Amino acid sequence: MEIINKQYIKLNTITDIMEYLFIYSDKNNYYFITYNLESKELFLIVTDKELCIDYLDVIVKPNDFDNFKNMLFFKPYLDVSNDTTIYKGIITLENGNHKKFEIKDLMFSYTDDVDEIKPSFSLLPCIANIKVKAHIQKKNHLYLIGHDEKYNEEVFIIVNIELMKIQYLHSFYTDFGYITLNTVNIDAYENKILVGGKIDEYDDKDNYVTTKPYFQMFLNV
C-alpha cells in the first residue's frame, strides 16, 4: 500500500484485506497496529486526529506469522533502555494450542506456551455472559470489549466497578457481514474510547467477499 499526499488519504478509504489489532493515541495522532491478511505483514498506520494518514511503518514481515487461527492479545511495549518498541501477544494456532510471541527489530519469535486461557472478571456478575477479549481500567471504571455468548454478538461495555453494574453497553452488528473486535483504548486528550477490529463481509447468499478493518470512537460517558 503506497501512501500519497495525506490530505487525500483517509483511513476509511483503505481497501486492503486487513484488521486492526491494537489502537492507541497521543495528543496529535492515532496509531493503528494493523495486520494484512493477504501479505501476512504487520504494520503501523499513523494518522492525525482527522484520520488522515501521516505514514506507515512495517513492524514485521512474513516469517512464521501466518499459521495462527486468531489473535487473543496484542500490545506494544516501550523498551526504555534503547527507546525501541517491542510487541507482545498471544495467538491461537491452527491446532488449537496457544503461544506467546514477541516482535523486536522486525523479527518474530515465539516465547512461551500458554496452557490455558483463563476467563477474567469472574467476580462481576453483570458481565457473566461476556467473553472478555480486551479491557482497560481508569479509576473506578472498566472499559471492555468482548463477545456476548447469550445473544451471540460483539459488545463494548463500560462497567462501574464500585457499583458492580453496567453503565453503558453497545452492540455491534452490520447487515452485510460480521464484526469481530480486537482492541479497546482511551484517548485521554479527546476524552474518547477507541474500538477496533475487522468486518468479514458476505454477499446475499452468505458467501465470503472480503475483510475490512473496523474502527469506531465513542465519547467517554
Q: Which range among 72-76, 153-157, 189-193, 202-206 shows the weakest confidence by mean pLDDT?
A: 72-76
CA dihedral 176, 172, 73, 116 (to 10 degrees): -100
The pLDDT value given to residue 123: 66
Where do the domains of the chain lie? 6-62+173-219
Alpha carbons 38 and 212: distance in angstroms, whole number? 12
pLDDT in tens, 2-58: 434 444 467 877 778 899 999 999 999 999 999 888 888 888 999 999 999 888 888
Query: How confident is the model over 194-212, as pLDDT tens digits?
Result: 999 999 999 999 999 999 9
pLDDT band at 158 (very low <50, low <70, confident <90, very high): very high
Residue 114's pLDDT band (cuts 50, 70, 90): confident
Mean pLDDT, the chain, integer: 85
| Chain segment 162-192, per-residue pLDDT in tens | 999 999 999 998 888 999 999 999 999 999 9
In percent, the amount of the chain with pLDDT more than 70 equals 89
Name the 3-class secondary structure at 12: helix
The DSSP line for 87-151 is EEEEEEETTS-EEEEEEETTEEEEEEEES------TT-GGGTTEEEEEEEEETTEEEEEEEETTT
Does residue 72 register a pLDDT over 60?
A: yes
Could you tell me the pLDDT band of residue 117, with boundaries at 50, 70 and 90?
low
Average pLDDT over residues 53-77: 77
Give yes or no for residue 110 having a pLDDT over 60: yes
Q: What is the CA radius of gyration of the chain?
A: 18
| Least confidently predicted of 62-66, 96-100, 107-111 | 62-66
pLDDT value of position 68: 72
